[in-house]
């Protein structure tokens, strides 16, 4: 059986079917969906490093503002004196959506940097680090000889200091391009491996289509499952159709995606991702 790997944040694995889930619904494949809520690009890269072989890997990169830091028991003991911060930190480490690659004995994990320190990084640092993470992923996949494609959760140039829904503020990286290593890494990325121009992602795919905007929840700003279906059909299906016979059920999937999205539009949930909520909404999707 063919094996497909998908990696990303909640735009890749959410409480209802995403573009990644439609791969398994449309093809007889073993899908390894390594996406997880709140994952930043450093975590996405680390998850990619666990993939040794695959028929195809699809990576949807997350926000440049999601910075992580590796910590252990000694770090907490020696650097965190405030008991409230220490308690919150330990709670983060126990959470499946706020820590990654966690071991409890001995204690170690990667967690969101803002949970550890109030120190702020520059936009230049964040944008450069994202480019380097993308380049690292590209080099790993090429070294392993694994076929792949990249995409964005939303446009690379979006200023994520404030999420603005349909009209996201854009940054101009012209001044960053004057930095030689920033320019070198940006130009070393194989941009042809992206579904869209790097300035656009799944969110912009939704904004550009009236049918998808019409079923976009104002409560849950994750793109609707109809948007995910349309994204899958537009970009992923043409690639996998050349490799794997499909189940000839594309019209059925469209109908299910449309019906569920219309339902969810009024019933939208702000629940944190968990297996129970996911099972509930996946069951509703299948009805």
pLDDT above 90 (res 283)? yes
Looking up tokens 């995409």 gives 151
Same domain? 78 vs 183: no
Domains identified in the chain, total number: 2
Assess whether pLDDT exceeds 90 at residue 83. Answer: no
Q: Are residues 97 and 188 in the same domain?
A: no
pLDDT over 80 at 270, yes or no = no
Statement to judge: residues 73 and 23 lie in one domain: no
Cα–Cα distance, 192 to 67 (Å, whole number): 26
Rounded distance, CA 88 to CA 264, Å?
A: 32
- Highest-scoring range by mean pLDDT, 98-102, 136-140, 273-277: 136-140
End-to-end Cα separation, the chain, in angstroms: 27
- Residue-wise pLDDT tens digits, 174-227: 988 998 999 999 999 999 999 999 999 999 999 999 999 999 998 888 999 999
The closest alpha carbon to 26, from 279, 251, 280, 271, belongs to 251
Helices 250-267 and 19-26: crossing angle in degrees, nearest 10, is 150
Do 73 and 206 fall into the same domain?
A: no
Name the residue range of residue 192's domain.
2-65+122-286
Instruction: Answer yes or no: do 139 and 99 share one domain.
Output: no
If asked whether residues 43 and 173 sit together in one domain, one would say: yes
Task: Indicate if 96 and 31 belong to the same structural domain.
Answer: no
Please choose, from the candidates 73, 41, 42, the residue with its C-alpha nearest in 3D space to the C-alpha of residue 60.
Answer: 41
Same domain, 163 and 247: yes
pLDDT in tens, 95-120: 777 787 788 777 777 777 766 665 66
pTM above 0.85, yes or no: yes
Region 26-33: mean pLDDT is: 98
CATH of the domain at 237: 3.40.50.1110
Instruction: State residue 140's pLDDT score.
Output: 98
Q: Which residues contact 11 (CB under 8 A, 6 or more apart)?
A: 18, 35, 60, 62, 153, 202, 222, 223
């Amino acid at each position: 059986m063919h094996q497909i790997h998908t990696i990303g944040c909640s735009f890749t694995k959410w409480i209802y079917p995403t573009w990644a889930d439609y791969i398994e619904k449309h093809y007889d494949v073993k899908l390894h969906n390594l996406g997880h809520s709140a994952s930043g690009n450093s975590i996405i890269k680390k998850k990619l490093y666990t993939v040794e072989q695959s028929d195809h890997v699809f990576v949807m990169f997350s926000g440049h503002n999601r910075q992580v830091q590796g910590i252990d028991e000694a770090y907490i003991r020696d650097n965190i004196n405030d008991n409230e911060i220490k308690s919150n930190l330990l709670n983060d480490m126990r959470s499946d959506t706020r820590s990654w690659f966690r071991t409890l004995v001995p204690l170690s994990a990667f967690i969101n940097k803002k949970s550890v320190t109030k120190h702020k990084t520059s936009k230049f640092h964040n944008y450069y680090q994202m480019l380097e993470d993308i380049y690292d992923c590209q080099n790993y996949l090429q070294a392993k000889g694994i076929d792949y494609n990249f995409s964005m959760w939303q446009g690379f140039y979006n200023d994520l200091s404030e999420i603005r829904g349909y009209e996201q503020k854009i940054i101009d990286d012209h001044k960053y391009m004057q930095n030689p290593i920033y320019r070198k890494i940006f130009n070393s990325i194989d941009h042809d491996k992206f579904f869209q121009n790097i300035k656009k992602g799944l969110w912009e795919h939704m904004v550009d289509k009236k049918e998808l905007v019409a079923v976009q929840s104002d409560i849950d700003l994750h793109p609707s499952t109809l948007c995910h279906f349309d994204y899958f059909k537009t970009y992923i299906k043409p690639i996998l159709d050349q490799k794997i016979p499909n189940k000839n059920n594309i019209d059925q999937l469209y109908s299910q995606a449309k019906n569920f999205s219309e339902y969810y539009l009024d019933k939208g949930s702000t629940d944190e991702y968990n297996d129970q909520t996911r099972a509930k909404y996946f069951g509703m999707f299948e009805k």
